[in-house]
Structure 1
Amino acid sequence: MKSATLHSLMTARTLYSEAKGLIEANDRHMCTAGLVILQDALEIIFVALLTEKGIDEKKSLESKGFDELIGELKSAGITVPKSGTLKALNKQRVISKHYGQLAEPVTVRGYAEAADTAVDAIIPLVIGKKLNDIFLSELIEEGESLSFLNSAAALIEQKQYLEALIEVRKAIFVEIEYEYAIHKWADYDPQTSTLGFLSTWSKGGNKAYSWTKNKEWIDKNVKVPVDYVQVDHERLRMDAMEWGVNTAELENLRRLTPRVFRPEKEAQWHVHFDIEFPPNEATESNANYCLDQTVSILLRKQQHAKKKRWPKKEVKFASPTIYIDQDIYSKASQDSEVVHTIHQDYKYEIDSIVTGFDPSEKYYRIHGSKADESQAIGSWIFGYLLIIEDIVS
């Protein structure tokens, strides 16, 4: 696929998603806005497909109108289904945009359905994949969530909509909900536990409500396996805002897909849904909506993660070796408790340099344990070592 085609389809998909969201609001003003955006998305898709076919090298597509682009596609051997309805959509868009006439929601929904039919038909003819599949293969990072989304897309093709929705929710679970799973806290009693901070942190569920992470609460409230997922809705809302995700869309996905849970990566999945869910929501439209929105959300989440930058660790710090018998303090101050004295039987690592409470002093933040691994357990130390400038130089 040409890079120009991919970028155009990315833009079109964003517009398409926004348009569908507005149209589903069933408000005349929002539906009219959705209609205008939908026409723009379709026009970009038409141009992208003609570009992929190389038509832009023979003809100037910039000056072509909406109806003319449909004609160019037909000339290139790509028949656009519902072309009459799409041309009517374009006329309604002109009336709404230039003359301020509102479109009726029921009419706009009909146009949106025609657009779905057309897009699902013509993109595979040129690209070999549907729009969602393109984004799965080209944009979503390799990993378990991608395999679940690919499986969902295949199940939709097979008209197995309930199973597809379960696969979609599995992707949401591994990407988002697993951090709210509290199953590893089922035997934790805060009154008797001697576990330290690192041990409790390793139990996971770090984003779940704190009061849910203990044996008493779990015994009382977890009735079925999926109850181990205890979402802190305010935390999820803040995460979604940070990713640039519409929080209503994320909550829609959690309502419109079956709940799932698994304790470990290799474990079997547990599934839960209301008895009325299959006849009402296990439909092609809901499956496509949930797959589309999940792709969009995970893409934004991954893009947000890619923007993070961390200090490099490529060049290792050459630790000084001439601090034997020097004291290590509990704080960056010589007035604090001495927790250890540098000894040749220990191995140490320095991870940072800090200014002390006395601004004229600098310290290494240091940790270590006995060099003999058989004696290392219980010998771990952590503290601050005063930097002696004369020795360093």
Structure 2
Amino acid sequence: MKSSTLSTLLVAKAIFEKTKSLVNSGDKYSCTAGIILLQDFVELVVLAVLDELDAGDQKSLESKSFDELLGELKKLKVPVVKSGTIKALNKQRVISKHYGQLSEPASIINYFSTAIVFTDALLEHVIGSKLQEIFLTDILKDSPSKDFLKEAIDVAGNGGYLQALALLRKAFFLSYEREYCIYSFRQQESSNGFFGLLGMLGGGRKAYPWTRNKAWIEANVKAPADYIQVDHEKLKTDCMEWGVSTVDVENFRRLTPKVVETEKGVWHLDYDTNFAANELSLENFNYCLDVVLDFLLKKQAFDDGHKWPKRVKSGPTPMIYIDKPIFERPSTTSAIVEYVKEDYYYTVDRVVSGFDVNEEFLYAHLYPKDKEFSLTLEDHIWGYLLAE
């Protein structure tokens, strides 16, 4: 796929996301605004497809009317499904935009569904993938979550909607919900200290602190899905920070089966019988796929925005002398934790100005040579050494 094609589709996708909330509002005014954006979305997809097919230069395409653009597709033997409804959509958009005439929400929902069918058919014919799949394969980074999404699309294509929805939820769990899973704390008396930190390596760092211990888990976890303890305020904050709809994410969590991975590759499933009777459909799958894909892309973009100091080169290791005091704080008047011993290794993490600005300290980690990889941290020392 050309980079220009992908760029146009990225813009179309952004417009589509705004359109979706407007047309589903049920409000005449929002729906009318939605139909204007919906037509822009459709036209951008058509332009992207023509660009991919090298159908004339961009300048000549921009001068053509929407009906003429559809004619260009037909000249290239590209299937234009539901062309009558798509042309009617364009006319309705003109009436709404230029004459301020309101549209009925029911008819706009029909246009919305038709637009998805129309654009997916175009993209499948020219690029080989639907809009959601394009973003999955071309933008989302390789990960176990991406693998689950690909598998879900294949399974849904064969009508296995329960399994497909569970696969979408697995992708969500690995990318986010694991941070609320307290399974790794089931044998720990407390979430504090070193072993509490070790527990968080298995997930659960965003769960409520009082849930991260053996006593609470034994009293409250009645089924495997109960290991997930979502702090809804943190979920809401994350969604706001990443630019994701909290409503869509909560809908997704309700419209997919609960899943939890306890051990590596060991998954547990939990769903309501009414859910199985009502929500195992292509419509629900497509909605949930769209939500989770948008979530993963927004989270990926947020994570990629972080920058960290480079660690390619190592700084020179300062000298640390035997029998020098290790202070609790960067001050020679603070308590002495220990003295440097001859049979210890050390690493220096930071250079710190003391509380007395005329003093400079090294924040160091010291440990016995024979206990370098000990998990008990017995005899490990952290503290401040006066730099000389």
Identity %: 44
| CA-to-aligned-CA distance 1:263-294 (integer Å, 9 cap, x gap) | 13322x11111111123111111100110111
> Structure 2, unaligned stretches of length 5 or more?
none
Closer, same or farther: CA 220–10 of 1 in aligned 2, 3 Å: same
C-alpha contact (below 8 Å) 1:226/1:261 kept by paired residues: yes
Deviation at 1:232, TM superposition (A): 0.3
Matched, 1:270 2:268: yes
Matched with 2:329 is 331
Deviation at 1:169, TM superposition (A): 0.6
Deviation at 1:59, TM superposition (A): 7.3
C-alpha contact (below 8 Å) 2:179/2:206 kept by paired residues: yes
Closer, same or farther: CA 219–196 of 1 in aligned 2, 3 Å: closer
Deviation at 1:340, TM superposition (A): 2.1
SS at match of 2:273: coil
C-alpha contact (below 8 Å) 2:51/2:58 kept by paired residues: no
| CA-to-aligned-CA distance 1:132-189 (integer Å, 9 cap, x gap) | 1111111111010001110111122112222211111111111111010111222333
For 1:197-216, list aligned pairs within 5 A: 197-204=193-200, 205-216=204-215
SS at match of 1:61: helix
Compare 338-347 and 127-136 and name the one that shifted more.
338-347
C-alpha contact (below 8 Å) 1:2/1:52 kept by paired residues: yes
Deviation at 1:8, TM superposition (A): 0.7
Matched with 1:146 is 146
C-alpha contact (below 8 Å) 2:166/2:259 kept by paired residues: yes
Matched with 1:134 is 134
Distance 1:40 1:75 in 2: 22
Compare 18-27 and 41-50 and name the one that shifted more.
18-27
Matched, 1:56 2:52: no
For 1:84-233, list aligned pairs within 5 A: 84-190=84-190, 197-204=193-200, 205-233=204-232
| CA-to-aligned-CA distance 1:207-264 (integer Å, 9 cap, x gap) | 0011222233222221111111000000111111111211111111111111111113
Aligned-partner residue type, residue 288 of structure 2: C
Distance 2:309 2:197 in 1: 24
How many residues of Structure 1 are paired with residues of Structure 2 in the alignment?
383
Compare 130-139 and 212-221 and name the one that shifted more.
212-221
Distance 1:143 1:250 in 2: 20
The alignment yields a C-alpha RMSD, in angstroms, of 1.7
| CA-to-aligned-CA distance 1:2-31 (integer Å, 9 cap, x gap) | 000011111111211221221112211111
Aligned-partner residue type, residue 102 of structure 1: L
Closer, same or farther: CA 55–326 of 1 in aligned 2, 3 Å: same
Matched, 1:355 2:353: yes
Distance 2:139 2:104 in 1: 36
Matched, 1:18 2:14: no
Matched with 2:310 is 312
Matched with 1:391 is none
Deviation at 1:374, TM superposition (A): 8.4
SS at match of 1:41: helix
Matched with 2:27 is 27
Distance 1:78 1:367 in 2: 66
C-alpha contact (below 8 Å) 1:156/1:288 kept by paired residues: no
Deviation at 1:375, TM superposition (A): 11
SS at match of 1:302: helix
> Structure 1, unaligned stretches of length 5 or more?
389-393
TM-score (norm 2): 0.95
For 1:239-258, list aligned pairs within 5 A: 239-258=238-257
Aligned-partner residue type, residue 41 of structure 2: A
Decide which of 361, 364, 367 is 2:362's aligned counterpart: 364
Distance 2:26 2:210 in 1: 40
Distance 2:360 2:107 in 1: 72
Matched with 1:295 is 293
Deviation at 1:58, TM superposition (A): 8.7
Aligned-partner residue type, residue 165 of structure 2: L
